[in-house]
């Protein structure tokens, strides 16, 4: 009997997956007594730490009793759903986490649907039971309803339920039990997760489900061994998704334990390992025995739904802050990203212009944020949805949108979404004065909606959405209802001129900010664009005025983060991204050029 268990932790964003894995690592004794470790240790990337979200799926291994348990922590955000789908094929059991107050959310439905389709049996963990507003019994009922609606088998419906507060390292099998530790989770994994199928005596079969990169050894394929034994130095056959076979050699075999990776000599069927030595390896490829190659089914990777154009920055302030500014550097960096990120696509569309397609705005802004931290400077166009032709009909992606809003504000939100072609599906009271409303909406109608939604709900609303399907094109959708305040001249902004401009709308910049002609410095309070002069100073004369100078009080500018700015811009605008600044500008900088192109 194989003493290995492979599980994935899946859930909606922010339901506590990484915190739970932290607790499993700690309570299994994986960390030595002398080892210091950070909170949410699996979120190793700077952006993950800052935002508190998981962007890349990562695996770890722990020892419990005499078993090795391989755990894969997955992202919860819909934009990274492709990662979850691949990971589920590699494991034999699943921990499904659900927040004890929020209950079933769009991404919970997405991951549960994928899990059931693959025939996996879940262990359901109701997390955050220590919340004052937690209602675990309601959430358990929601989970049973969800499983029934998704067509789960009787065996899948008979899932064990664990109640937990992962942050405090507490878990129990029944709400009436005294508080306990994670022992019940470990025992449930050993009892309910089937042992891996496959045999070390069979011909080798291992499938790659995610990629990594190392400057010394090159591309690394992280894979699950389904049959046979893989040894360091083995000559192998790599079966590509398109049916092509390539010979290769495993130069390095890497095993996992806790947060550490260590070189190993061999691994057998059922284990999850990483290997290096084959530069052409891709997600879904199978490592086979050269004497008898038997490829596994290639993986289906979900299609991108959104595109933006990355281009060389050509603004008047270009090259002052970034180190990598040329099209060659930009192309190199984007191609490097495509090496490990299989959910994205790259296409060269012109001189210094690269079309990047992804699953959503967050995925694209995460790439842009990483690039600016690496001293790149570039511009990004407004996101556009990918329109497909299916059986002769023009189709676009639709999203399942769930919003939680205070009851008194729900009317204005429903009205605004109605103008964006959203169709309301259900409305439920959530307690504590909140309502949950579900919609089906075209993906392009959500571009630019988040900022407006936060304003309408006074910052109290929560929105979540996940990809639903491609449907026939739904016609024109209302976009931004306000115009832009555009600088007419280059220079450094002055308080005197900004004081006069701030009555016309909301400013995005403060005093002593470098601007140029065609740069957008704020949002106009009306629907048309307005050209203004932000560098005009007070006229000085030696004639004393009769009244005292008016006190200049500036309203603090709106902070435009990368995501917020990308949602805000329209088709004739660009986002200029540098290591220190995010500027919004018109595609054509002079007013004469803009007028000429508007006539075309």
Element spanning 138, H or E: helix 136-149
192 is in an annotated binding site: no
Element at 114 (helix H, strand E): helix 106-117
**Token pair 């997956």: residue:** 17
| Cβ–Cβ under 8 Å, residues 92 and 68 | no
Would the annotation count 529 as a binding residue?
Answer: no
> Is 14 known as a binding-site position?
yes
Q: Are 524 and 505 in contact (CB under 8 A)?
A: yes
3-state secondary structure at position 290? coil
Distance of CA 433 to the CA centre of its chain: 30
Query: In sequence order, what E strands does 367-417 have?
Result: 378-380, 384-385, 388-390, 393-406
Q: 447 labelled as ligand-binding?
A: no
19 appears as a binding residue in the annotation: yes
8 Å CB contact between 32 and 26:
no
> Are 314 and 377 a contacting pair, CB within 8 Å?
no
Q: Annotated binding residue at 597?
A: no
User: Residue 425 annotated as binding?
Assistant: no
Find where tokens 């660009």 sit: 574
The annotation status of 340 as a binding-site residue, yes or no, is no
Tell me phi and psi for residue 568, to 5 degrees. Answer: -75, -35
How far apart are alpha carbons 7 and 98 in whole angstroms?
16
- Is 16 flagged in the annotation as binding? yes
Our CA dihedral for 106, 111, 114, 115, rounded to 10 degrees, sits at -140
- Closest C-alpha among 462, 471, 497 to residue 391: 471
Structural tokens at position 401: 């949108």
Q: What is the C-alpha to C-alpha distance for residues 80 and 74, in angstroms, rounded to an integer? A: 9
Q: Which residue bears the tokens 């993986």?
A: 299
The residues facing 457 across adjacent strands are none
Whole-angstrom Cα distance, residue 576 to residue 562?
10
The reply, when asked if residue 215 is annotated as ligand binding, is: no
Show binding-site residues for GTP.
14-19, 127-130
Show binding-site residues.
14-19, 127-130
């Amino acid at each position: 009997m194989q003493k290995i268990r492979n599980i994935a932790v899946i859930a909606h964003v922010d339901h506590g997956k990484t915190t739970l894995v932290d607790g499993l690592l700690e309570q299994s004794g994986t960390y030595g007594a002398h080892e210091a470790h950070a909170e949410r240790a699996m979120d190793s990337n700077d952006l993950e730490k800052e935002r508190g979200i998981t962007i890349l799926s990562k695996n770890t291994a722990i020892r419990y009793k005499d078993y090795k348990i391989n755990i894969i922590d997955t992202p919860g955000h819909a934009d990274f759903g492709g990662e979850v789908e691949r990971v589920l094929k590699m494991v034999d059991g699943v921990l499904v986490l659900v927040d004890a107050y929020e209950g079933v959310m769009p991404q919970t439905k997405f991951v549960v649907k994928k899990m059931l389709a693959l025939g996996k049996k879940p262990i359901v963990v109701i997390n955050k039971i220590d919340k004052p507003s937690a209602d675990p019994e309601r959430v358990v009922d929601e989970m049973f309803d969800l499983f029934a609606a998704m067509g789960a088998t009787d065996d899948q419906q008979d899932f064990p339920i664990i109640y937990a507060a992962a942050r405090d390292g507490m878990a129990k099998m029944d709400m009436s039990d005294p508080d306990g530790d994670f022992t019940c989770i470990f025992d449930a994994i050993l009892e309910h997760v089937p042992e891996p199928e496959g045999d070390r005596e069979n011909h080798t079969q291992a499938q790659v489900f995610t990629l990594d990169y190392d400057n010394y050894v090159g591309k690394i394929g992280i894979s699950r061994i389904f049959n046979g034994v893989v040894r360091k130095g083995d000559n192998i056959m790599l079966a590509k998704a398109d049916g092509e076979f390539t010979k290769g050699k495993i130069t390095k075999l890497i095993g996992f334990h806790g947060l550490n990776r260590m070189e190993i000599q061999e691994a057998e069927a059922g284990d999850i390992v990483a290997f290096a030595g084959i530069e052409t390896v891709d997600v879904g490829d199978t490592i086979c025995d050269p004497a008898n190659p038997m490829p596994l089914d290639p993986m289906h990777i979900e299609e991108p739904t959104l595109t933006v154009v990355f281009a060389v920055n050509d603004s008047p302030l270009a090259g002052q802050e970034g180190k990598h500014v040329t099209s060659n550097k930009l192309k190199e960096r984007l191609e490097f990203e495509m090496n490990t990120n299989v959910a994205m696509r790259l296409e060269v569309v012109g001189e210094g212009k690269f079309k990047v397609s992804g699953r959503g705005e967050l995925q694209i802004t995460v790439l842009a944020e990483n690039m600016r931290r690496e001293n790149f400077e570039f511009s990004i166009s407004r996101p556009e949805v990918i329109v497909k032709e299916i059986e002769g009909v023009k189709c676009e992606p639709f999203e399942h949108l769930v919003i939680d809003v205070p009851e008194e504000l729900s009317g204005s939100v429903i009205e605004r979404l109605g103008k964006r072609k959203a169709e309301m599906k259900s409305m439920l009271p959530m307690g504590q004065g909140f309502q949950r409303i579900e919609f089906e909406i075209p993906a392009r109608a959500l571009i630019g909606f988040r900022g407006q939604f936060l304003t309408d709900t006074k910052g109290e609303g929560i929105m979540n959405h996940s990809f639903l399907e491609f449907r026939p094109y739904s016609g024109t959708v209302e976009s931004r209802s306000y115009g832009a305040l555009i600088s007419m001249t280059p220079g450094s902004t002055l308080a005197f001129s900004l004081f006069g401009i701030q009555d016309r709308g909301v400013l995005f910049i403060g005093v002593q900010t470098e601007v140029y002609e065609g740069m957008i410095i704020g949002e106009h309070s009306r629907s048309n664009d307005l050209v203004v002069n932000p560098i005009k100073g007070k006229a000085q004369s030696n004639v004393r005025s009769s009244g005292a100078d008016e006190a200049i009080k500036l309203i603090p500018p709106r902070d435009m983060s990368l995501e917020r700015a990308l949602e805000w811009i329209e088709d004739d605008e660009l986002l200029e991204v540098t290591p220190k600044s995010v500027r919004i500008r018109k595609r054509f900088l002079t007013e004469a050029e803009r007028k000429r192109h508007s006539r075309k």
